[in-house]
Amino acid sequence: MSLSHTQTPGQLPGRTIRMAFMCRSMSISKVCARMLPRLIASLMLACTVLLFGACATQRVGTHTSLYDDLGGAAGVAHMVDEIVTELHTDPKLADLFTETDDAYFKERLNEQICNLTDGGCEYTGLSMEEAHSGMDLSHAQFNDFVEACRRAMTRAGVTVGNQNRLLALLAPMHGQVIHQ
């Protein structure tokens, strides 16, 4: 085996060629040395972006609506049944619901919750102002209603986290319901 003019004893021909290709002179070697940390940093940044992108994609793929988290149509219907039962048995609220058409009320409450929680339903009932017109409900009665709903949701097996999510969607209706 004969040595090429750039090869020294103990070196492999391929390694010599690769080193000569990467850094032909001392000035190129310095450039390579300065660029290496930038190259590594760029590769790490690219990997980080890809990793976070993959995580974000995973989260989007597994995201469920509150409607789904409540159990879909069956879960919401069960919860609404419990709420209506609680409203009729709560001594502070029962008088407000003595003349209520429960079937109609349940249908509208189902629609409203489905609509608010991204279940894909359209609410076809009255506005909150119209539905509560002439009732002159107080802040205390509104709060009693919320507590009755909490008890009913707990009985229906709704987690505290999902109760809070739903009540946060209903809370803005406070001003539309009281003193109407």
Sequence ranges of the binding site? 132
CA distance 69 to 76: 10
CA distance 157 to 177: 27
> Which residue positions form the known binding site for heme?
132
Q: Reduce the secondary structure of 105-132 to three states and give it as a string.
A: HHHHHHHHHHHHCCCCCCCCCCCHHHHC
CA distance 81 to 89: 13
